[in-house]
Amino acid sequence: MSVPLLELTGVHAGYGRIPIIADVGFSIATGEVVGLLGRNGMGKTTTVRAIAGLLPVGSGEIRFQGERIDGRVPEEIARLGLGLVPEGRQIFPNLTVRENLLAFAGNRLGRPDPWTLDRVLALFPQLKPRLAQGGGRLSGGEQQMLAVGRALMTNPALVIFDEATEGLAPLIRAEIWACIRLLKAAGQSIILIDKNIEILAGLADRQVILERGRVAWTGGSDALLADRTLWHRYLGV
């Protein structure tokens, strides 16, 4: 039996004394795309922050690439192969587009076809004429492309997209979804958080629904699409 790429077991985390997630557990296999769903405030971003080492884990275990990572700093987890496209983009506004991308360049996992600056620019050609421009001067859509490109430049084993299309114009949203489909076709392991359940269900292999900080349901996307009561009960649709 193969070891999961990522596995959470009984994870509790929160902010100070305020618990947000409790006993969260799920796993992701190599090459799998998993949707993390739930209404606002149900613990999705908290779960992502715990995985990435941005939030202390109170109890439970998180294993990535066969190694336990709860308690490790974000830099160590990133070096193991975790790429994060965070909510709110969080690009470096005072660095140029080129600097934002090259600052994260690396191929620690030894991919035979690594993501490079040229390859990211081929994926998002809108960024090419902006290479010398400060990140803070980009449009929201361009900043999102930059955030995705920055994560890909690390050549990660797993990419987490936290609200990857939130607040974007329809054409830019479509471009981000096309990028994610391309990554899936290439065998990239992905966690997706987004409010567009229809698209998420069409993209992800499995779905994990959080309700009040706990896993309320997990199953295949076909099962989610077939049972609209789940949408009304847990997703507010």
pLDDT for 1 equals 58
pLDDT for 237 equals 53
- Residues β-bridged to residue 35: 192, 207
Strand, helix or coil for residue 232: helix
**Sequence letter at residue 152:** L
Contacts of 2 (CB under 8 A, 6+ apart): 29, 30
Q: How far apart are the first and last CA of the chain?
A: 37
Class of domain 1-81+159-164+193-237: alpha beta
Separation CA 203–CA 108 (nearest Å): 28
pLDDT for 87 equals 87
Residue where the block lists tokens 């490109």: 149
CA-closest candidate to residue 123, choices 78, 183, 57: 183
63 neighbors 69 (Cβ within 8 angstroms) = yes
DSSP 8-state assignment for residue 90:
-
Contacts of 6 (CB under 8 A, 6+ apart): 27, 28, 51, 62, 63, 64, 158, 189, 191
Domain boundaries along the sequence of the chain = 1-81+159-164+193-237
DSSP 8-state assignment for residue 170:
H
**Phi and psi at residue 55, to the nearest 5°:** -145, 130
166 neighbors 92 (Cβ within 8 angstroms) = no
Q: State how far the alpha carbon of 174 is from the alpha carbons of 145, 164, 179, 200, in Å.
A: 12, 11, 9, 13
Per-residue pLDDT tens digits of the chain, which is 237 residues long: 578 999 999 999 999 889 999 999 999 999 999 999 999 999 999 999 999 999 999 999 999 999 999 999 999 999 999 999 998 888 999 999 999 999 989 998 999 999 999 999 999 999 999 999 999 999 999 999 999 999 999 999 999 999 989 889 999 999 999 999 999 999 999 999 999 999 999 999 999 999 999 999 999 999 999 998 999 899 985
